[in-house]
Every structure is written in C-alpha cells, then in structure tokens.
Structure 1
C-alpha cells in the first residue's frame, strides 16, 4: 500500500511517541531525565540503602516481607509501629509480652507462612524462596549464612528479593548498640516503605520523652543496676544472663543509672558466679522477662537471695520486656527505670 509523505511522517512521529524508539536531542534527553527525577521525587523511589556493605535498591515499597527470628522483636515491632503489619507474609519473631499495649497480641496474630523451621530455629532456604518475598529482614548476617541452611543475600536477589540486616548486626556485636540504633532501624524502614514522616514522628516523640526524663535526673547520684533475664541460663555459671554492655547501658545512663557489672567483660553478657554477684553492690535490679508469666516473682527471689544488696534493703526492682531491646519503644524503658531509681524526681 502506498502512503504519501505527510502521512508517513505523521505515522513515524506517532510511533516515536509510543515506543521512544527514535533518537532525540540532548535537550530532549535532559528533559526526560528531569521528568524521571520529578517522578522519583513524588513517589520516593528508587531508594538505595548501603547495608552491611551491600547496596539494596528498592523500586517500590515491599509488599511481601519476611521477618526472620534471630531472638529479636525489634524488626517486627518497628514494622508494626510504622503501620506496616499488612506487608508481612511471614513472621518468626515473638516475645509473648510488651510494654506497649496490644503489641504482643498483634505480633502473635501475624502470619507465620506455615514454615517448618530448621535446627537453627529459623526459615530454611527452600521455604524462604517458596514464600516469594520481596524483602527479608534479619537481626544479623547469621540469617543469610548458607552454612546455617539459610538463603544468602545473593540468592534472594536472584529471585527479586532485597534483604536487610539490622543496625549492629553486620558484625554481630550488640555490645556497641545504643538507642540511636533503634532510631536508625526506624529511619531505614521509613525510607524503604516511603513512610519517613511516620518514622521521624516516632523518633521525635521518643527523643522528647527521653530528654524530659534525663533532665529530671540530671545531677543525681547514679545507682548501680543489675540487668538480667528471668529464669534463663546462657552459660556455665549461676548467673549467665546478666547484661554487661549494649543498649541496656545506654538506657540506664539516660535514666540516671549505671551498670553494676560493666567492668566484668567486654561482651554483651557476663557469665558470673554466685560469689561475684554477692560481692557486688547492687542498688537496683531490672528483670527482663522473656515468656515468663511472673518475672516479679523472680525479682523477689533474687532480692531474698542477696539480702546484703541495697536493692534488697529497699526492694528496688522493675520488670521490663521488649522496651529494653533494639526497637521503637526504648523511651518507655528509660521512663520506667528512671522512676524506679529516682522516684522523688517524678
């Protein structure tokens, strides 16, 4: 079929507009680039995070998130605090209790993906790939180690899934963790899901609350505090679940206290004999409960066992759970610990 020149030019122009197959001038390319930048500005994407030396680029908000166990609730609590529970297709984290009303029940109600965990009590590689995630959260790089039977970050990338390791998880050294790491986790998830405004509001509220508490206890004597899990053995000695370093120390400092056992080890946990514990002056006790229905009973038993402590003489203790960990609720722990240590300031 023959076609006159004007018609042919018109058709060619239309095809160029539809397929972008025709070359353009430099100004056209610049205009296109600016248009793409403007679109990205409106949507917030793409977002790129440098996470443990790996760049993870998100073209859109994840909709199929898998949260690995890692003996943490920081990641799932952060997602819930940001209103992102509906993005989770499989969650392996759980704690059984929380300082935040309704959080433990909300975590329990999340889907698990009907996964049979492996010997490391987490999601094995084949099951992970079968969940078709677009984002996998892990507490440390351990959760992406092939030797442990897990999908690696490269394997996840091959099936279109990004991966994220929480702050201080790159080197698996929680002894250096602070409340600022909880804020970093919030900020990173805010960027990934394009809800940075929510993240910043949570951070600002937490910072304001902590600053107000710290101001009230400023200049006060800093009592020595023992922080430990209730009814939990982690080492060979009688007291093997005693915190020596990590985020708990930052919380204690902000609450006007100090860790009674910070000088016993450089590790996160101290593995202590009964004699060492007995010989240490302890002004107050923070009992952290993990699925223990009655942590107060453990605290009272502990104070009775060491009647020489100032903590025992004054019955000074508080029970806490997830707010003492990495997560979005550290301000609650600071407040509760400060009120225990310095009741006259409130």
Structure 2
C-alpha cells in the first residue's frame, strides 16, 4: 500500500515536472509586438511600466520583483494588490521623463499606450530605447485594429472593435516572455470565469431584451463643455455588450467629445462615470461630475439621472486593461441592485 502511494506521488510529481518543462519558454524568443520584432535572450529582470494596466499585469503574473519603476496612474490598483502597490516605485503619476525611465536601467519598458512610447512618443520613441539596448512593449489593445494618427481628444479610432481577446493575447505573450506560461493560462481562465459570472448576475439577456441604453463619461476639458464619452468600438462598448447594454454613442472614435444635447436625445437608462485620482481636467472629479448631472437643465431630464441610475467605476476599468473584467462585475452588480 505504501509502495503504491509513493509510486502515485512520484508519477504525479513527474507529470507536473514534464508539464512545466513543456511550457517552459525556449530562448532566444522573438515576438512581434505592434509591428516591432524583439528577440529576448532571457526573461527581462528589470522592467519599467508606463501605464497602470501594465503594472497590474506584472503583479497578476507574479512578477512584482522585476518591476523597478512605474508611472501613469489614474487611481489605486484592485484591493488584491494593495500591499504590493504600496511598495512599488513611482517615477511619476503621469508621463515620466525619458531620463527617469532610463535611470532605472531597465531591460524592458512596458507601455499601455502608443502615445507614451511610439512614433511620437511623449516619453520617447521605441527607437530611442532600442538604441540603448532596451526592449519595448506596447499593449496590443492600443495598436491592433486601431489608428492613432488623428489629433483629436478621442484617443484615436478603431477599425476593428475592441475585444477582451486582446487582453488574453497580451497575458499569453507576456507570460511567454517571462517564462511563466502556466500563470498566464491560469489568469486568463480566471478572467473568463469572472466575466461569465458577472453576466449572469446582471441578467444580460433581460437587459438586451429591454434594449437598455448606457453612456460612459470619462472626463471633460470643461465641466460644462462637451464630455468625453465612449464610442461604440472601444473597451466600454465591449463592456456594454457583455452586459446586454447598448452604448448610445455611435462612432468608432474611442473617446469623442459629444454634446449633452445629443446624448440626452438618446435618453440613456444608465450613465457610467469614471472615478480617478488624476486632476488634469475639471471633470476628473467624480463629485463635480455628479453635481453637474443632477443640476444641469439638459442632463437632469435624462432617465438615467431621474432614476438615479448613476454607476461609478474606476477610470482604469474603462480603458483596455485587466480592469475591464472589474467593470463588467461592478456595473452588472449595481444594475442588479437597481432592479
């Protein structure tokens, strides 16, 4: 009996070892990221993140010890990462300088947005980093099926609607770069399960049958001016679709400026507001957003405001990120409480 037990244990252990070996990254590894092929000789040991999503992704993959600097923060990470967040080195809450990033001697700079590390990079171009032997990574969600050539405040347009599949892709590729593929697979499975559970909680089929409408307000350059609201091809549109809601703003621009008169004419059933610590614009303040909506002669006539169907979520959850799953959960939960 003892022999059989030992044999079974050895076989199980051997099976896990062989499985892990099969998933181990083979270096050198070449990956095409947003049109640039990078070859990794080994898993990067020093990483600077430019974008809150990239920071959260590193933590979610168990790679916190490799993060030597972070930047571009809208607010706090999910509670699960509160202790780890407190020990992260912040180079800047907004865009860091090129010198500050290079000063951390990174092997990899991981950026959430092309406008930070791209052809017109606010921090630097990819070429500037590559000339120093530093690899760069841009979230596929900010380049696949997306144009960022326009100069508006809309954050670019999408020729292909955003899907959480782009986040799954990024998780898979980053896990491969850092030789933690089992963690990547587990993370993607967890995300998919959370989405399915949130859809059930919100009764998405019922919302779709009701043709329930929603608008997502991120911010505005002027509190009483045209708001930056989500178009029909970005992350909020995917969130809306996952929950059986219809986004009222019909454009492939990610965050276009649309008049309140136009939004009110569609009379949305729900309004989702982005909450953030950032204070670059007057409408970054969530309390000011709510006060405006309840008192403006146009907005206060909308069904969403009359019924107090105001939903507040973290700003990052409305940008392509792991947080999209959190948005589906929170919006679904709050809608369930309204019924």
- The two structures share one fold, judged by TM-score above 0.5: yes
Query: What is aligned with 1:223?
Result: 212
Question: Do the aligned partners of residues 180 and 146 (structure 1) sit closer, same or farther apart at CA in structure 2, a change above 3 Å counting?
Answer: closer
Say yes or no: does 1:295 pair with 2:273: no
Contact 1:223 1:341 in 2 (8 A): no
Query: What is aligned with 1:54?
Result: 36
Contact 2:113 2:142 in 1 (8 A): yes
Query: What is aligned with 2:8?
Result: none
Match of 1:97 among 58, 72, 76: 76
Gaps of 5+ in 2: 1-20, 149-155, 279-283
Task: Give the paired residue count.
Answer: 294
Query: What is aligned with 1:185?
Result: 170
Shift of 1:294: 6.8
Match of 1:45 among 16, 21, 26: 26
Alignment of 1:207-286 (within 5 A): 207-215=192-200, 216-220=203-207, 221-229=210-218, 232-234=219-221, 238-245=225-232, 246-261=234-249, 263=250, 265-286=251-272
Shift of 1:326: 2.0
Contact 2:23 2:182 in 1 (8 A): no
- The structure whose Rg is larger is 1
Match of 1:81 among 52, 60, 73: 60
Say yes or no: does 1:199 pair with 2:184: yes
Secondary structure of 2:305 counterpart: helix
Match of 2:87 among 75, 94, 109: 109
Secondary structure of 1:285 counterpart: strand
* Range with bigger deviation, 56-65 or 327-336: 327-336
Alignment of 1:325-344 (within 5 A): 325-343=319-337
- Write out per-residue CA displacement over residues 214-271 of structure 1, whole angstroms, 9 at most, x where no aligned residue: 3432243231111112xx324797133211231011011111211122x2x3311231
Contact 2:95 2:123 in 1 (8 A): no
Match of 1:142 among 115, 119, 122: 115
* Range with bigger deviation, 127-136 or 278-287: 127-136
The CA RMSD measured in Å over matched residues stands at: 3.1
Extract structure 1 runs of 4+ deviating beyond 4 A.
40-43, 145-151, 342-345
Question: Do the aligned partners of residues 302 and 147 (structure 1) sit closer, same or farther apart at CA in structure 2, a change above 3 Å counting?
Answer: closer
